[in-house]
Chain A
């Protein structure tokens, strides 16, 4: 593609979407009301595992304003259960039926049993409490390792065990690698269960009338929701329109086709009125798919000089009660980058998926890759400790050198570009490690335990080349291109449609910057439309840090199509050759004669008056479907500094420095924002957040009182810097950045806490790094251990 003069790309423009958001004028799902709208409230299981003996809805139905109470027995016209979209060639994945309402058995606390539909938001909740459900409890299993052994606690009797699948991914000679090793370091790395917890809970409004269905839903994936809703309701796809209005955060938690969405659509068709459901926070915490929950047995072999000879990881992945849309694929995403930024001659990841009596898991920000980085980066520190090396020295020793890019790894993926030394060097411009060590020693003599931890990471994003991840490759039943459509109006104003579906990322601004440079207009006159299946082409939506690297590139290519047509029209009017026309400032002008040209408005006028060259269609509009040849691999180096109080076990984060490389910057303001939020998401996991079920399968962290999201008060400023190593995979040279911070940060924080703990005799500890766990670890090390400890 010809070079594009960048006037707007690269600038830290403030966002076009903000005026409506800062004035309370945006419209989220719960802000939409329709005449005659009914409300849905779910009757949910208080039992973690039980047979449903009976459901008595008579009292609920007798309440004023209640239109109906439904169970799964009423939903006989669904064409099938909720979808799971992974059919990997050659591997059996046990996929139990999962219905919008439980069929005979409940398998986690919050599993929906019935739904009440009525006229008033409060009254349906009262009525739901009047539905009497009799349960016959079954044995409960919440520990995935126990669940694998259990014969009496099987969740899905038709499958006969709690195992979903086994899968192995690797390359190189593992046995030879370990045989060659001078030391072997082993740890059981626990990555506990967390919640995505967007501040807007899930919600949906469905309106079926005259054979057509319109749904507004808090989703990242409106096109997927349309497809599955149409299929499951037996409707023709063109009769279903799904709109993701303003969406209050996703973090993967809204990458789903949920039973509640399907149920509201079904109920609206059944009853002839619009039906709305908005989750309460408690409901959202109990039933929105959760993330992580992996136990990994990690084993790393190294030579005495610190070079890695082999890395073997066995992941036990807790999937909860059912497979959701992508559940069993999540640990595999981590396996693709299990060698991180390091040369690993032999590598193997074995994955076992397990059902337990807990809420299902699926993609949450990073999806498999935060877990992988956490394992790798903890193991690098442990190996350094074992070998008596500096943790940064061992990293540099194993970095894939920049001259190796594009770097094909033994596992088969090809890293597009990287310069890991450069990002670490940049980090060390901000963090003076020698000065830190001196300060650390001084503080320690005063009883203050300060620690520093690092994480040098890469990740795989920009999903994705379909040949790799689609039906013929990894087995996802979709293509992963992205669409775009650019329409220049009569006046030269531009509407740009993207199949990506943002929920806070700022596409209306960054995508407008991309289009503006290619068409010689100001981003202010480029309106980016998204999230509505009723306008624009079919789309593949937003997840896996793909929007810019796939959707942005698609839109850039679409804008170039328009520019090419505009050049032909300008050449026709100015009696020049199209090859001699260029975008210069706010005009399409003749090269070397910047005064001689036409603005986009003038071109559009000509295009719509059919003053175009012979044989050319009138109008100024184009559509593009584009798919990358490869993933993109952002990378970086992060450092955390913490203070630890050995008497209470409390950790205070003192500094966090993130150096990231996401290729070329479209809008640096938005990149920094993504890094800030991504990093804090993982700091939250490392220090505060934990979805915890007790042994009876009761969720004990079901509100924001006991599920501790970080607040402003716990955090220092997040210091950010960048290096720029363009990706060769797209013409923009960009990589994704939405998940990078989350993928990097938990390891940096955990390594920092471990660094602070070492003089207290603790050399390894698993998250969450709660005061209690740390205090127990310190006491265990002293030999005065109470029950439990760091490896619990």
Chain B
């Protein structure tokens, strides 16, 4: 195994230089090196999407990206799109529509939804359902998640994109 390598990455607007094992996953770099534990891990096969973040503006599963691949990139996590005092429209819609129960899939779900709306600000229900295909939720049956994404799109239109 080779030794640690440097990674320069901007996360939620703050620049960081990390020394990481080449095999370190981006999700673990975010969670354990930077303390941003809002991004979760729910599987080891890139199916559940709980680890979804934005890498240079695109929604990616951070369990399938090595930290070294994020070298020179900008990463946005759930902590970076809104705070309790200044919620992102998707966070607000998830809250209003009861689009979460245990909350474990929620950060990834919101980041994936933000990705959908960035590409398609006014999606149909069908498009939202297909867009969320890569994110699993066991609590909600997706009913209120789909509703929240559509509501966020309606209220904010194109501004929603993170």
Q: Which residues of A contact B (CB under 8 A)?
A: 14-15, 17-28, 30-31, 33, 121-122, 197-201, 246-251, 280-282, 503-506, 669-670, 672-673, 676-681, 703-705, 709, 711-713, 715, 717-718
Contacts and interface: CB of A to CB of B under 8 A. Distances in A.
A276 B53 CA distance: 25
Contacts, number: 181
Contacts of B105: 199, 248
Most chain A beta-carbon contacts within 10 A, residue among B79, B100, B101: B101
Given A22-B94, A249-B101, A680-B142, A712 B129 contact: yes
Interface in B66-94: 77-79, 82-84, 87, 91, 94
Nearest to A708: B47
A22 B100 contact: yes
B104 A704 contact: no
Nearest to A678: B141
Contacts of A33: 32
A122 B29 CA distance: 12
Interface of B: 21, 23-24, 28, 31-32, 36-45, 47-48, 50, 77-79, 82-84, 87, 91, 94-96, 98, 100-107, 110, 125, 128-130, 132-146
A286 to B, nearest CB: 12
B143 A711 contact: no
Contact of A676 (B83, B94, B134, B144): B144
A249 B106 CA distance: 12
Given A23-B38, A23-B87, A669-B98, A705 B45 contact: yes
B143 A23 contact: no
A669 B101 CA distance: 11
Contacts of A198: 102, 104, 138
A122 B4 CA distance: 14
A713 B101 contact: no
24 contacts: A21-B106, A24-B37, A27-B37, A28-B37, A28-B40, A121-B28, A122-B23, A197-B138, A199-B40, A199-B102, A199-B104, A200-B42, A248-B103, A249-B101, A249-B102, A249-B139, A251-B138, A280-B44, A282-B44, A503-B102, A677-B139, A680-B142, A717-B146, A718-B141
Given A23-B38, A677-B140, A680-B142, A504 B47 contact: no
Contact of A712 (B45, B50, B128): B128
Nearest to A719: B143
Contacts of A30: 31, 37, 40-41
Contact of B43 (A22, A670, A704, A715): A704
Q: Which 6 A-B pairs have the closest CB atoms?
A: A24-B38, A248-B104, A504-B102, A21-B103, A680-B141, A704-B47
B143 A717 contact: yes
Most chain A beta-carbon contacts within 10 A, residue among B48, B79, B136, B139: B139
B102 A712 contact: no
Contact of A22 (B44, B50, B106): B106
Q: Which label, helix, strand, loop or mixed, suits the secondary structure of the B interface?
A: loop
Given A31-B31, A673-B144, A704-B136, 5 more contacts: A23-B87, A24-B36, A199-B138, A673-B139, A676-B142
Contacts of B135: 711-712
Most chain A beta-carbon contacts within 10 A, residue among B134, B140, B145: B140
Nearest to B136: A709
A673 B138 contact: no
B47 A677 contact: no
Contacts of A28: 37, 40, 104
A199 B50 contact: yes
Nearest to B1: A126
Contacts of B91: 22-23
B45 A504 contact: no
Nearest to B101: A504
A676 B102 CA distance: 14
A224 to B, nearest CB: 20
B143 A709 contact: no
A200 B104 CA distance: 6
Contacts of B102: 198-200, 246-250, 503-504
Given A246-B103, A249-B102, A676 B38 contact: no
Most chain A beta-carbon contacts within 10 A, residue among B37, B79, B100, B141: B141
A676 B132 contact: no
Nearest to B80: A24
Contact of B103 (A26, A121, A201): A26
A23 B79 contact: yes
A247 B24 CA distance: 26
Nearest to A22: B91
A673 B101 contact: yes
B144 A199 contact: no
B74 to A, nearest CB: 17
Contacts of B32: 33, 121
A255 to B, nearest CB: 15
A17 B95 CA distance: 9
Contact of A281 (B45, B87, B128, B133): B45
Contacts of B107: 22, 24
Contacts of A17: 103
Contacts of A246: 102-103
B78 to A, nearest CB: 4
A86 B133 CA distance: 42
A711 B136 contact: yes
Nearest to B128: A712
B142 A712 contact: yes
Contact of A199 (B44, B136, B143): B136
A703 B44 contact: yes
B24 to A, nearest CB: 8
Contacts of A21: 100, 103, 106
Contacts of B87: 22-23
B37 A712 contact: no
Nearest to B82: A23
Given A246-B103, A280-B44, A14 B95 contact: yes
Contacts of A18: 94-95, 100, 103
B48 A199 contact: yes
A17 B140 CA distance: 16
A181 B23 CA distance: 69
Contact of B40 (A14, A248, A503, A505): A248
A561 B128 CA distance: 49
A280 B23 CA distance: 17
A10 B31 CA distance: 39
B146 to A, nearest CB: 6
A24 B78 contact: yes
A25 B141 contact: no
Contacts of B50: 199
Given A18-B95, A704-B43, A711 B132 contact: yes
